[in-house]
Amino acid sequence: MQKSLYQIKRDILDVGRRTYDRGYVASNDGNISARIDDKKVLITPTGVSKGFMKAEDLVVVDYDGKVLSQGKRPSSEVFMHLRIYKERPDINSVCHAHPIYATGHAVAGMSLEKCVLPEVIIVLGGIPLVEYGEPGTDKFFEPILKFLKDHDAFLLANHGALTIGTDVLNAYHKMETLEHFAHISYVAQQLGNINVLPKPDVQALMEARSRYGVPSTATCQTCDSPGGESCEIYQGASALNDQKANLNIHPNGNSDVDREKLVRMVTEAVMKKLG
Q: Which residues bind Zn ion (CB under 5 A)?
A: 160
Q: In what order do the strands lie in the sheet with 31-35?
A: 59-62, 40-43, 31-35, 93-97, 160-165, 153-156, 129-130
Q: Which is nearer to Zn ion, 96 or 151 (CB)?
A: 96
Write b or e for each residue in 78-88: b if 16 or more Cβ atoms lie within 10 A of its Cβ, otherwise e.
Answer: bbbbbbbbeee
- What is the closest distance, in whole angstroms, from the C-beta atom of residue 31 to Zn ion in the complex? 7
* Given the residues 77, 142, 207, 232, the one annotated as active site: 77
Q: Is 24 exposed, middle or buried (0-12, 13-18, 19+ CB in 10 A)?
A: buried
Amino acid making up residue 95: C
Q: Is-catalytic flag, 207?
A: no
CA distance 131 to 29: 20
Whose Cβ is closer to Zn ion: residue 48's or residue 233's? Answer: 48
Q: Shortest approach of Zn ion to residue 25 CB, angstroms?
A: 8
**Minimum CB distance to Zn ion, residue 160 (Å):** 5
Residue closer to Zn ion by CB (options 45, 160) is 160
Q: Which one, 133 or 160, has the nearer CB to Zn ion?
A: 160
Phi, psi of 198 (to 5 degrees): -65, 150
Measured from each CB, the residue nearest to Zn ion is 160
Shorter beta-carbon distance to Zn ion: residue 53 or 206: 53
CB of 98 to Zn ion, least distance (A): 6
For the bound state, the minimum distance from the C-beta of residue 143 to Zn ion, rounded and expressed in Å, comes to 14
H helical segments located in the chain: 5-21, 78-87, 100-108, 118-123, 138-148, 168-191, 199-208, 221-224, 235-246, 256-274
Maximum Cα interatomic distance, the chain, rounded to a whole number of Å: 93
What is the spatial distance between Cα 197 and Cα 117, in angstroms, rounded to a whole number? 8
The SS3 of residue 236 is helix
User: Would you name the residues annotated as active-site residues?
Assistant: 77
